[in-house]
Structure 1
């Protein structure tokens, strides 16, 4: 039977004993999902999905470390690993989501209908994602170690999450604007397949945004707050949502998108990009 032990003196890393059952269940789910996405990358040669797959690996590592923590509640290393890797996995999901929008736009030949020039669109969002990754990684690493810098670390982590939320908001606005402009040139097709890919990006973005809002509130409430002191909240508002992201990406995998229109064509084709 595991017991909650202090890390140093009367300082506890955990407010509860982490559930080994829930950790194992989610590490198996993320293992299966990551293996599937690795296979899809090999099958479709969609290199822009590599970051998404790495995000799955981050989640997997995080839950393995969390399972280890069940019998090691006083050990700093597995605590830091699970904290940092579970926090940063969605940032890598976001990187592939940003790149997928550029693929959708190019595959329809609708570059002129994008609010941001396509050659800058991916660079802008991915650059912001890298900044968010570095800020969150720095903050979570400092916060996991506790000590006198805990307050500063919490602020840094929240700042990284806010950057992610702001950029996702801009991303969704850009996507909706592109969709509305493209609707004028649908050629009578009620449900072009590029829209299905776009809607999957909306769904994934919404899940990541909900999770990021949860994390901001969680860290703002502090170590003794309800969210950080009750394990079920993380599994509902983080683990389950991120697993949903991987499932949606699997069903509407953007690796099936083909690029572009002929240089000599003045038409805007609404191609069908069937799943392979």
Structure 2
């Protein structure tokens, strides 16, 4: 396959859907940016960057819609790559929050993985997944039939790595929550903190990423002319909508509260104000 007969989409991308998701991700990402700098919840920088990836990715889809049917490779690569790898950035922040929740409730002895290693292991898997997906996306647009197939296989491998690590992460989070809840002393300590709502935020966001990644594996396994890749609705329902919901969850249950209880600065209150643990630290 050469770029002379290259076809980006098997449908005409919807301008209306792209604009809607540009607006949605612009609003939610700007909110995360505002709260991140306001509360100094620095471990959520990857999630914020992932939001900008989503935003620019849907801008690429809008550009592709405007070009239809004479697509150029730039907007296609912009949307295909950024929308593909953004959840890996979300995952990095999610992994780091669990380690902080464990420290907050003093639950180190109840974790399947030592807290000192937890973030390193999960983030390392996340980086591997990110690199595999990004390189696979690059291989796919190199201009030959074999590179298209190779790129899809590399992307599938990266998505499977993401599923495996996220699956283990979800199991670790559930086991931790269960062990702390049934241990009298640990439960008493944990009850002093609003930790359960943050754990449920992690559970629900992890499930959203897992659903999205499984659908993506099926999509790339079917190939360019498969049912999922040939119908635009799937990218919005099983990717855009799920990832927007993930970002909305962390606006409703903002991780700054965990940092606050660790003595690391500010937290958003229910009334939208700020709680300050130590004025010298902010």
Q: TM-score, normalised by structure 1?
A: 0.89
Aligned to 1:195: 196
CA contact (8 A) 2:105 2:189 kept: no
Structure 1 residue 9, shift from structure 2 partner:
4.1
SS at match of 1:52: helix
2:66 is aligned, of 67, 71, 90, to: 71
Instruction: Figure out how many residues of one structure are paired with residues of the other and give that number.
Output: 260
2:120 is aligned, of 98, 119, 123, to: 123
Unaligned runs of 5+ in 1: 1-5, 262-272
Aligned to 1:238: 239
Aligned to 1:17: 12
Deviates more, 1:43-52 or 1:71-80: 71-80
Structure 1 residue 190, shift from structure 2 partner:
7.5
Structure 1 residue 8, shift from structure 2 partner:
3.8
Work out whether 1:27 is the aligned partner of 2:26. no
Distance in 2 separating the partners of 1:145 and 1:80: 11
Q: What aligned pairs does 1:43-54 form with structure 2 within 5 A after superposition? A: 43-54=38-49
Work out whether 1:206 is the aligned partner of 2:207. yes
Structure 1 residue 68, shift from structure 2 partner:
0.5
2:138 is aligned, of 138, 141, 145, to: 141
Deviation sequence 1:84-108 (CA, Å, 0-9, x none):
0011111100000000001111111
CA contact (8 A) 2:106 2:190 kept: no
Provide closer, same or farther for how the CA distance between residues 32 and 7 of structure 1 changes in structure 2, counting only shifts above 3 A.
farther
Deviation sequence 1:32-55 (CA, Å, 0-9, x none):
000000111112111000000000
Distance in 1 separating the partners of 2:54 and 2:262: 34
Work out whether 1:110 is the aligned partner of 2:107. yes
Distance in 1 separating the partners of 2:7 and 2:19: 23
Work out whether 1:248 is the aligned partner of 2:246. no
Provide closer, same or farther for how the CA distance between residues 36 and 260 of structure 1 changes in structure 2, counting only shifts above 3 A.
closer
Unaligned runs of 5+ in 2: 275-282
Structure 1 residue 189, shift from structure 2 partner:
8.1
Deviates more, 1:138-147 or 1:13-22: 138-147
Distance in 2 separating the partners of 1:250 and 1:115: 28
Distance in 2 separating the partners of 1:34 and 1:149: 34
Distance in 1 separating the partners of 2:81 and 2:225: 19
Aligned to 2:153: 155
SS at match of 2:22: helix
Work out whether 1:167 is the aligned partner of 2:165. yes
Q: CA RMSD in A?
A: 2.1
Distance in 2 separating the partners of 1:245 and 1:160: 20
Structure 1 residue 72, shift from structure 2 partner:
2.1
Structure 1 residue 7, shift from structure 2 partner:
8.0
Provide closer, same or farther for how the CA distance between residues 49 and 189 of structure 1 changes in structure 2, counting only shifts above 3 A.
closer
CA contact (8 A) 1:23 1:63 kept: yes
Q: TM-score, normalised by structure 2?
A: 0.87
Structure 1 residue 253, shift from structure 2 partner:
0.8
